[in-house]
Amino acid sequence: MARPVVPLSNKDIGYLPGDVESKLDPYMQPLFDNLGVIQSHLPKGDTNNGNPVARLLEEKKLVISPLAYIRGRSLVSIYFIVDEAQNLTPHEVRTIITRAGEGTKIVLTGDIFQIDHPYLDTYSNGLSYLIEKMQGQKLYAHVNLEKGERSELAELASHLL
């Protein structure tokens, strides 16, 4: 799993204290939040399972990483989820997808109405570009979710603000 590092209010991560990992942790935290939600919905009856999300992380079967380190990689036989893809440029989306090796599936998620990148908009972002360019290709599918899942308040704010 990965996501772009796009700071709110365009504050660069350099101002954060600590090493690279501690600087990136706040940007990766939403992925851990979502894994926590998934974990809370798993059946409680199987005590032999322990914490399957923690186990996957420990065994490195689930890896969370910033997209900044993808250039030059070849991703073979993995399921790669890119969150917040609306904050990517078309060039960045192309860079990500061209890393796919045999057996790899790539899923880009995002909301083109929640762009935080200062130089992108609903039409110029990488997710919109991908949707436009890949329509009709046999290796491509697109799902448009119509309703938010956070809360009634978040849904109201999305429509009114």
Tell me the residue range of the domain where 89 lies: 2-160
CATH code, 27: 3.40.50
A 10 A CB-CB count for 32 gives 13
DSSP strands (E only) in the chain: 2-3, 65-66, 79-82, 105-108
Q: How many CA atoms lie within 13 A of 50 on its CB side?
A: 7
CB 5 within 8 A of CB 66: yes
Q: What is the pTM of this model?
A: 0.76
At 33-90, the pLDDT tens digits run 877 777 777 776 555 567 787 788 888 888 877 787 788 889 999 999 998 899 999 9
Q: How many CA atoms lie within 13 A of 8 on its CB side?
A: 3
At 123-161, the pLDDT tens digits run 999 999 999 999 999 999 999 987 777 888 988 887 788
Q: In total, how many domains does the chain have?
A: 1
Q: Tell me the chain's radius of gyration from C-alpha atoms.
A: 17
